[in-house]
Amino acid sequence: MELENLSNLPGVSGNEQRVRDFIYKKLKGKAKHIETDAMGNLYAYFSSGRKNAKKVMLAAHMDEVGLMITGIDSSGELRFHPVGGISTSVLLAKPVRIGNEGIPGVIESKAIHLLKEEELKQYPRIEQLRIDAGFSSKEEAEKKVKLGDYAYFDTTFKREGDRFIGKAFDDRVGCSLLLDLIGEKFPLDLVLTFTVQEEVGLRGARVAGYKIFPDAAIAVEGTAAGDFPIEKDTGAFPELKKGPVLTVMDRSIIVDKKLFNHFVKTAEREKIPYQFKRPNIGGTDAGRIHLSKTGVPSMVIAVPIRYIHAPAGIMRGIDYRNTLKLLKEALKNIEEVI
Amino acid sequence: MKDLIKKLSEAFGPSGNEDEVRNIIKKEVKPYADSVKVDKLGNLIVRKKGKGKKLMFAAHMDEIGFIVSYIDKKGFLRFSNVGGLFPINLLHQRVMFKNGLVGVVGEEKRKDLKAVSPLDKLYIDIGAKSKEDAEKKVGVGEMAVFSREFRDLCDRVVGKAMDDRIGCVVLIEALKRIKNPVNDLYFVFTVQEEVGLRGARTSAFGIEPDYAIAVDVTGTGDTPEGWKSPLALGKGVAIKVKDRGMIASAYVRDRLVSIAKKKKIPYQLEVLEGGTTDGMVIEITKSGVPTGVLSVPTRYIHSPSELLDMGDVEATVKLLVEFSKERFN
């Protein structure tokens, strides 16, 4: 499992280079062929050696949400825009790293001593926030930081028993799962696809789906688990330790029924726990891939993670292992439903 | 034609679950088609061969609906929308699941009696006594649609899912009437229009037509204190100029207008601010497809009682049939 290494790498949307390099090294010598495209998606081809084998694409995105530097104030404070979906509530007072050098900084937040009562009641708007890297003037800041530099959460992976804490589990967990499939034998031509720019609009997946145009596609994801106790008996989110999360419908796709049923049946047979994602929330690369050319039967499987799109998420190793197991078991005879 | 409208209107077919509708249409078109094919997303592609240009006619099979998101301890179902489900149309409506199970939409006690309850304050009551009882009948992720009988009001008809089963009927009826096609005709019954024009995208990519016409419904302004719109029931087929998603090909639009004038088919022009159709994505497929839209004027769209005029349906069929006979350079 490469989750620790993958989680620690910076790779905000459009800047996936280091994640891609790491994955490439893991694939080298193992895949039949590896290539990238103009967008920066990475493809690794594994052949079954069988004639007329079905082509199945597994997709995980390399990018994570983060920030981009958009301006430097005369005071040396750094203005920024979010890259991907981030709420102000997770940003305040968080340590970040800026640019390729990884300059450390902190997102500004008044100490409680200085906050007025009304400020305690609501978060500032995201455009009011600045990154403070300790510079005392624009000139000083400009020596180290320039417009367009990315910033990412300064979080180091931690493991405590079966509990993992880290950043960017969405979707390095998918990347790690895909790498764990290397060496497995399936009666399929498998294309492990590591996409770019999912968090800013499923962009890499659009061209990846067009390029590969597989017989079936599976997006392997990290998905939001219930981050809070449910007070009312009106809804539930996926939970940790309850197994891989299967999507029926989200904002980007209604999944292919045959693939979905195949995964449910496989989970039942192998006694692997599974749960359903709450409908109509979020979207994944599968949303783009399934509309490629004349259509690709597609589905989504995900590991439940608390606090995604934030500096640190929490997940359980058992969910990872069960997701991997379900993927392996389901791929063995997936050709029967394609 | 009314028998077919009834059958299709009452069929179960929320987005992604168009099987029942597809099977009815398949049976209906088979004797008239040169080929009948279902693509990977579930679009039904019916071809009637001709020597001229490739024309694609599209109507969507799916309807708006409900998807179960949660079953509570007492056996009530919480749900999310499949497509454009308006809360004001839902309260105390009956809904049905694929297996025939019927439920009623109820609401949490309202704090403000004048406000309409949003979706997350509504639930479906299937008469279950507990969570366990409910789970025997239905599961999270299953979809439901309005349960409502079709009714014949003589010149007009009313029923659920006229959006866009009436378009499907128009295509089927046109196919039946076209004996010797001048052009190469593809009648496409699409899936998942209501959740984002998805089936039209992939089917158009596969067919790569020279010209396309989407057939759908459009709202009217002819009701008491209604919307400001000149569109009205009984005034003929609506030829689209623009909507929120597309500007119809001026070439196709003008051609449709001139045919209507020549053949004395009643028509009205449609300029719509909200909503769009499969035409939007067909128009920008590959290097572009000149696309027009014919709309059947309909009242109460996305409600269980969509009401329309049979004369308008007839005009739509006629105009589509005549368009199919056009010769293009």
Write out pLDDT tens, residues A238-267: 999 999 999 999 999 999 999 999 999 999
Q: Which residue has the tokens 């009956």?
A: B94
Strand B156-159 relative to strand B151-153, pairing: antiparallel
Q: B85 pLDDT exceeds 80? A: yes
Q: Are residues A308 and A219 in the same domain?
A: yes
Is the complex ipTM higher than 0.90? Answer: yes
Q: How many domains does chain A have?
A: 2
Question: CB-hemisphere CA count at 13 Å for B318?
Answer: 19
Q: Which residue on chain A is closest to B192 by alpha carbon?
A: A254
Domain encompassing residue A235: 3-64+167-337
Give me the mean pLDDT over the B136-162 stretch. Answer: 97
In one letter, which amino acid is B93? Q
What local confidence, expressed as pLDDT, does residue A112 receive?
A: 85
Closest CA to B296 of B319, B274, B321, B324: B319
pLDDT bin (cut points 50, 70, 90) of residue B136 is very high
- In a domain, residue A282? The reply is yes
Q: Where are the beta strands (DSSP E) in chain A?
A: 33-36, 42-46, 55-61, 66-72, 78-83, 95-98, 103-107, 131-132, 150-153, 158-160, 163-166, 189-195, 216-224, 245-246, 275-276, 298-305, 313-316
Which residues are paired to B147 by β-bridges?
none
Q: What mean pLDDT is reported for chain A?
A: 96
List active site positions of A. Answer: 198
Q: Give the model confidence (pLDDT) of B173-212 as tens digits.
A: 999 999 999 999 999 999 999 999 999 999 999 999 999 9
Do A193 and A309 reside in the same domain of the chain? Answer: yes
* Rounded (5°) CA angle A233-A236-A237: 160
A158 located within any domain: no
Asked if pLDDT for residue B329 goes beyond 90, the answer is no
Is A280 found in the same domain as A136?
A: no
Asked whether residue A264 falls in the same domain as residue A134, the answer is no
Q: Do A235 and B78 touch (CB under 8 A)?
A: yes
CA dist A242 → A138, A166, A173, A199, B270 (Å): 50, 20, 16, 26, 52
CB-CB under 8 Å, B202 with A278: no
* A203 and A54 co-located in one domain: yes
Chain B residues whose C-beta is within 8 A of a chain A C-beta are 15-16, 39-41, 43, 67-70, 72-74, 78, 80-82, 120, 123, 140-141, 192, 195, 198, 201-203, 205-206
Tell me if A161 is assigned to some domain.
no
Chain B touched by A156 (CB under 8 Å): no
Domain boundary among A120, A153, A186: A153
A125 shares its domain with A177? no
Q: Please judge whether A249 and B192 are an interchain contact, meaning their C-beta atoms are less than 8 angstroms apart.
A: no
Q: Dump pLDDT digits (tens) for A9-42.
A: 999 999 999 999 999 999 999 999 999 999 999 9
Number of helices and strands in chain A (H, E) = 9, 17
Chain A residues touching residue B123 (CB < 8 angstroms): 234
Same domain, yes or no: A16 and A108:
no
Residue A228 pLDDT greater than 80, yes or no: no
- Amino acid, res. A214: P
Q: How many residues does chain B have?
A: 329
Q: Are A337 and A262 in contact (CB under 8 A)?
A: yes
Which one of B15, B44, B202 makes the best mutation probe of the A interface by having the most chain A beta carbons within 10 Å? B202
- How far is the C-alpha of A303 from the C-alpha of A245, rounded, in Å? 6
Same domain, A181 and A323: yes
Q: Are residues A203 and A127 in the same domain?
A: no
Question: What is the enclosing helix (H) or strand (E) of B67?
Answer: strand B65-71
CB distance A249–B78 less than 8 Å? Answer: no
Please tell me the least confidently modeled range out of A231-240, B31-40, B187-196. Answer: A231-240
For residue A126, give the CATH number of its domain.
Answer: 2.40.30.40
Structure-block tokens of residue A324: 């991997």
CATH number at residue A173: 3.40.630.10
Residue contact B70–A235, C-beta within 8 A: yes
Mean pLDDT of all residues belonging to chain B: 97
In a shared domain, residues A57 and A72: no
Please indicate, yes or no, whether residues A106 and A207 belong to a single structural domain of this protein.
no
Instruction: Please tell me which residue of chain B has the smallest CA distance to A298.
Output: B41
User: What domains, with CATH codes, occur in chain B?
Assistant: 2-63+160-324 (3.40.630.10), 66-146 (2.40.30.40)
Answer whether residue A142 shows pLDDT above 90.
yes
Among the listed residues B63, B193, B270, B283, the single catalytic one is: B193
Contact A294 B72 (CB under 8 A): no
Proportion of chain B above pLDDT 70, given as a percent: 100
What order of strands is seen across the sheet that includes strand A313-316? A158-160, A163-166, A313-316
Residues A117 and A57 in one domain: no
User: What residues of chain B lie within 8 A of the CB of A233, using their CB?
Assistant: 72-74
- Among A91, A126, A153, the domain-final residue is A153
